[in-house]
């Protein structure tokens, strides 16, 4: 079962803005942004492309760790999507991993225009140590998080729903607002809910957001 995709006006004209290696390259901190984060092989770029209906907007690759900078996409003069470097890729030099970690932590803690984080987790390997570290950073920053449990098409419907329930229970241990849904770029399942969350956050005038509820059923 898949969603009938309805593309909100805010997501209809995304454009690459800049790839930033250092904080002084970030766009001016005004308006509203939503960032995407996750392990290097979790399907983050595919999810961005699916949600925006723009094939090739975020660069995908069979080689994990392709996103090596913080990439900003312009939606309009005041709104942006942000693709954070994937984490957990063993072949990346330790010095670069430390740089990414410091940059991501700084971005989450200090970026005033950031309205929330979309955190992607593989349904077959959710809530890894690094996922929990990312959630710890968002908790410290009092940042709202919406989790996409990706590749839900890899499991049967019943097993995917069981995984969703288990992840939801574990996420309840974090003090900041965290919601969760199933998602598949292949079947586009969960796409409508993800778009609704993005649209709500991008039209919010304040960083701190109330908890967002939303669950989608996976593909067959």
Dump pLDDT digits (tens) for 24-39.
999 999 999 999 999 9
Q: Which domains does the chain have, with CATH numbers?
A: 9-202 (3.40.50.300)
Per residue in 172-201, pLDDT (tens digit) is 999 889 999 999 999 999 999 999 999 999
Find the distance separating the first CA and the last CA of the chain, reported in whole Å: 6
The more confident residue out of 95 and 116 is 116
Computed over every residue of the chain, the mean pLDDT equals: 87
């Amino acid at each position: 079962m898949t969603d009938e995709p309805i593309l909100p006006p805010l997501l209809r004209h995304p454009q690459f803005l800049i790839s930033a290696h250092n904080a002084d390259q970030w766009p001016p901190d005004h308006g509203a942004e939503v960032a995407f984060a996750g392990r290097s092989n979790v399907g983050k770029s595919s999810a961005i492309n699916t949600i925006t209906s723009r094939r090739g907007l975020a660069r995908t690759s069979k080689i994990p760790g392709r996103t090596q900078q913080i990439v900003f996409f312009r939606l309009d003069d005041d709104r942006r999507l942000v693709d954070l470097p994937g984490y957990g890729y063993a072949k990346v030099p330790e010095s670069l991993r430390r740089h990414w970690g410091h940059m991501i932590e700084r971005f989450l803690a200090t970026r005033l225009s950031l309205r929330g984080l979309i955190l992607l987790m593989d349904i077959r390997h959710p809530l890894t140590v690094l996922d929990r570290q990312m959630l710890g950073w968002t908790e410290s920053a009092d940042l709202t998080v919406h989790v996409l449990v990706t590749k839900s098409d890899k499991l049967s419907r019943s097993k995917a729903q069981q995984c969703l329930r288990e992840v939801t229970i574990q996420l309840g241990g974090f003090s900041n607002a965290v919601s969760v849904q199933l998602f598949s770029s292949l079947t586009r399942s969960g796409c409508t809910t993800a778009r609704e969350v993005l649209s709500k956050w991008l039209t919010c005038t304040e960083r701190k957001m109330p908890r967002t509820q939303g669950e989608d059923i996976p593909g067959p």
